[in-house]
Amino acid sequence: MTKLLTPDEVASMLQVEKSTIYAWTHTKQIPYLKVGRLVRFEPQTIQEWLTERREAVHEINTDLIRKKLRRVR
């Protein structure tokens, strides 16, 4: 079984405040598990979430560049 990460560990990994991690869980912006009253994270799921976000940002940036190029022409 894979070791689950704590909010402190995920905050450190992402270089954000622990309060940001809790805010993201509250608004369901980041995948998490509840173990009783505790919030935990699966490392593989967090890695996949980061990859998805990176790809989404790349797509947004690509679209913005295309729109700017159309205006210039």
Tens-level pLDDT at each residue, the chain (73 residues): 789 999 999 999 999 999 999 999 999 999 999 999 999 999 999 999 999 888 877 776 677 667 666 776 5
Residue 32 confidence (pLDDT): 98
Domain that holds residue 60: 7-72
- CB of 21 within 8 A of CB of 11? yes
- CB of 43 within 8 A of CB of 50? no
Q: Establish if 1 belongs to a structural domain.
A: no
Q: Half-sphere exposure (CA, 13 Å, Cβ side) for 30?
A: 24
Q: Which residues of 34-50 are buried (b: 16+ CB within 10 A; e: fewer)?
A: eeeeebbbbeeebeebe
3-state SS, residue 13: helix
- Quote the number of domains for the chain: 1
Residue 55 confidence (pLDDT): 80
The structure's pTM equals 0.77
Angstrom distance (rounded) from CA 52 to CA 45 = 11
Q: Establish if 61 belongs to a structural domain.
A: yes
Q: Establish if 2 belongs to a structural domain.
A: no
Q: Establish if 48 belongs to a structural domain.
A: yes
Q: Which amino acid is at 8?
A: D
